[in-house]
Structure 1
């Protein structure tokens, strides 16, 4: 891997790279990554501080997605899996593209409760789609189901007997999760919160990483953002590669990936603030910060 044209830091478990995902991916050896999780800009105008989510039209966005998807599949190992996310608007056409060229293992729905402002003339959006794909239908991809078993809430809890088995036995108490995942979104004031507009929860990444890798495997995130993928991968004993274009988020990665707590004389600390252009939300945040400040003053 030749990264000399990019800024990067690494240790024995983590590699964090500041650069454009497409450029960096081209520098990575083919068939070398065990798991890829990609949470790219959704093409709907989110502010990531570098205009990376602004495209002139949907065709431009689709063409860009095809490029990074193909590069990711090139570097994915022969038994590897890639999970990627997109907006509800654009996932259908991306699904069609990968379904023709690769193999879709699962279409997953991540659902959550949204306590924010809801539309008054249509149904609110409380989910995001995730595709789980591999090279082709004959790929013997890795799936460690024993790592992700959850409680079976039907027959096992009611102590029902499964008479289809010989001899009849109680229903299993554990099962593999279905393709609808319910995890709460990362909210302001949560312990894992970082100052990033589209941070994904650690529980979501934990399920993905545990299902597709074993300790020592390499997990890559080409659009690392808040670097949740790197943080969870390292906590679970996997090796991580995180790529990020925005330099401020890159510094989050240096900290969350466990590489360094200092960058060019700057102490890397978690930013507990939250930037938003929504005035009502900002007023609420300001009030929370004021209350927290009063509490701290009252302690002395």
Structure 2
């Protein structure tokens, strides 16, 4: 395992269980875990497990480690596929207190199932070590209270009378667009999570100066948002190409050249754009230049 760090931010390059073993017990205020879902995606050459039992055994091991490093007042957000969440839920409810079962819903991206109802959401388990002592900054994550019209009602129970609030704490159904190829935050990764989702998680469940851990950092969105919001971060990642993304996004010095850390814009899928299919628009050299920015 390799440690790369700057002030307040660390990247642990290596196996998740080996890396977690180096983290001090009870030292992390917030964990956000978005592991491989074991549904056949290729993470830059690293494939999923073949057997479900093997995947679940491995998952229980790293979840237990995340709970070990969580502080007594800490919070743990855990994502997985809709198929695997029942297994994770049963395992976690015996070891932590589940506050919310969150639904992250998004548009279909044009992908249509033909023999069943296609999935347009992913589950997030929101749990805490102690249900009587945990961080939840409601005022930091308020959203518009949509009622179909602007509320102009007055609460005459207060002295002096005050308009009713037009904001509220979000419910457990979160509507964030998935990261698209043309978005500025896009990175070359098959399951990148949006910055807006991580911003809500980090604002709600941590404070400035707290330690935020992501055991499967991928594009290091968790670490990047944590840094922007004044938190400390620990990002664990086994894939060197993704570690390079983390070094760039978090601003950690390294021996890699500027070219090696440059942002490369490539599609997550093998599907080609219309211009690529027809050969129209730009020439091959121009394509190569257009993918870097």
Whether these two folds match at TM > 0.5 is yes
Distance 1:288 1:257, change over 3 A: farther
- Aligned CA RMSD, in angstroms, stands at 2.5
- Cα distance in 1 between the residues matched to 2:15 and 2:280: 38
Query: Residue 206 of structure 1 aligns to a residue in which SS?
Result: helix
TM-score, normalised via structure 2 length: 0.89
Distance 1:171 1:121, change over 3 A: same
- Cα distance in 1 between the residues matched to 2:123 and 2:50: 21
- Name stretches of at least 5 consecutive residues in structure 2 with no aligned partner: none
Is residue 261 of structure 2 the alignment partner of residue 268 of structure 1?
A: yes
Picking from 199, 205, 229, the partner of 2:198 is 205
- For residues 232-256 of structure 1, give each alpha carbon's deviation from its aligned partner in whole angstroms, at most 9, with x where no partner exists: 1111111111100111111111111
Picking from 31, 40, 44, the partner of 2:39 is 44
Picking from 72, 82, 89, the partner of 2:83 is 89
The residue aligned with 1:78 is 72
Q: Is the 8 A contact 1:82 1:133 kept in 2?
A: yes
Cα deviation for residue 80 of structure 1 reads 0.6
Is residue 208 of structure 2 the alignment partner of residue 218 of structure 1?
A: no
Distance 1:67 1:201, change over 3 A: same
- For residues 160-187 of structure 1, give each alpha carbon's deviation from its aligned partner in whole angstroms, at most 9, with x where no partner exists: 3557x56775421111000000000001
The residue aligned with 1:171 is 164
Q: Is the 8 A contact 2:23 2:69 kept in 1?
A: yes
Query: Residue 101 of structure 1 aligns to a residue in which SS?
Result: coil
Query: Residue 104 of structure 1 aligns to a residue in which SS?
Result: strand
- Cα distance in 2 between the residues matched to 1:143 and 1:284: 46
- Cα distance in 1 between the residues matched to 2:203 and 2:214: 15
Q: Is the 8 A contact 1:112 1:126 kept in 2?
A: yes
Aligned residues: 286
- Cα distance in 1 between the residues matched to 2:79 and 2:239: 19
- Name stretches of at least 5 consecutive residues in structure 1 with no aligned partner: 1-5
- Cα distance in 2 between the residues matched to 1:66 and 1:158: 47
Cα deviation for residue 107 of structure 1 reads 0.4
Cα deviation for residue 49 of structure 1 reads 2.9
- Cα distance in 1 between the residues matched to 2:277 and 2:220: 28
- Cα distance in 2 between the residues matched to 1:250 and 1:238: 19
